Structure 1
Amino acid sequence: MILLSYIPTEPGRVAAAAAVREAAAHDTDLVVVNARRGGALVDSRTASDEDLDAIVRGAAEAGVTATIHRPESTDVVAAILDAATEHGAQAVVIGIRHRSPVGKLLLGSTAQQILLEAPCPVIAVKSEG
């Protein structure tokens, strides 16, 4: 099973396409995780049902069975890593964005924590922009 950590951004959409390709290449299922921050009134990481349904439809067109997992947690990284362990992920696919040289020095980014702590290989996909 391939696990996609999805947020509704351009890097997230590029990662979704890569995750579907990866799942199809390995003839396995896809679990789309859209972790929401518990207690937040507004969270830009929360994808709409329509957005998630589009990923499921695109996966089906590629012959991949996709399911949605929407954990609510105060620690988004822990929710993603727990889902990878719970579902026995072969790989986690994440979207990354361009960061400035100073931004690269900062610790604590979600992508960086997933890369360092995941229980399986992580495929980091960068969008063109």
Structure 2
Amino acid sequence: MTVLLAHTPHASAEAAFESALEQAIFRDTDLVLVNATKGETLVDPKYATDEALTEFSQRAAGRGVGLSIERPVDADIAAAVLTVAGRYDTDLIVLGVRHRSAVGKFLLGSVAQRIILDADCPVLAVKADTIGAVG
């Protein structure tokens, strides 16, 4: 059993990683970080850098949590995350969420929504830290 973090480098990524790490510690289990890409471009801003992943590994190790990293290339990001979750017999999926316009959701779909609705385990949706935010 494990905690899985569906990671995309955006505003809520740090809060999601911290929450996933805390859940792994609480559950006394390992953490799997899934950073998927569609593979449509040579440089995908949704694909984490090797340096960022190394930092996550070091931070997890420093808190006594084993971290595995999966980087699938799949046209269906939600399906890729859920496939990895099934392979690891995941207890909890953690993902960062952000606001999107109604048009953006309609045109692009919502990976987070699909994961939340289709996962076979609980999903923890984490927003970016809003301390100091205006409005």
TM-score, normalised with respect to structure 1: 0.90
Q: State the Cα distance separating 1:5 from its structure 2 match.
A: 0.5
Counterpart in the other structure of 1:71 = 72
Pairing of 1:1-129 with structure 2 (within 5 A) = 1-100=2-101, 102=102, 106=106, 108-129=109-130
Q: CA RMSD in A?
A: 1.8
Deviation at 1:128, TM superposition (A): 2.5
The Cα of 1:41 is off from its aligned counterpart by 2.7
TM-score normalised according to structure 2 size: 0.87
For each residue in 1:66-87, what CA deviation from the matched residue of structure 2 results, as whole angstroms up to 9, or x when unmatched? 1111111111111000000011
Kindly provide the CA deviation profile for residues 75-129 of structure 1, in whole angstroms up to 9, marking residues without a partner as x. 11110000000111101000001345x4697482111111011111100001134
Q: Distance in 1 between matches of 2:113 and 2:27?
A: 25
Amino acid at match of 1:69: E
Q: Computing the radius of gyration over CA atoms, which structure comes out larger, 1 or 2? A: 2
Which structure 2 residue ranges, 5 or more long, are not aligned?
131-135
Supply the distance in 2 between the matched residues of 1:105 and 1:52 (Cα, whole angstroms).
28
Tell me: CA distance 1:26–1:72, structure 2 relative to 1, closer, same or farther (3 Å). Answer: same
Change (3 A) 1:110 1:24: same
Q: Distance in 2 between matches of 1:48 and 1:128?
A: 22
Distance in 1 of aligned mates of 2:100 and 2:72: 27
* Partner Cα distance (1:73, 1:38) in 2: 7
Distance 1:69 1:88 in 2: 15
Q: Which amino acid aligns with 2:88?
A: H
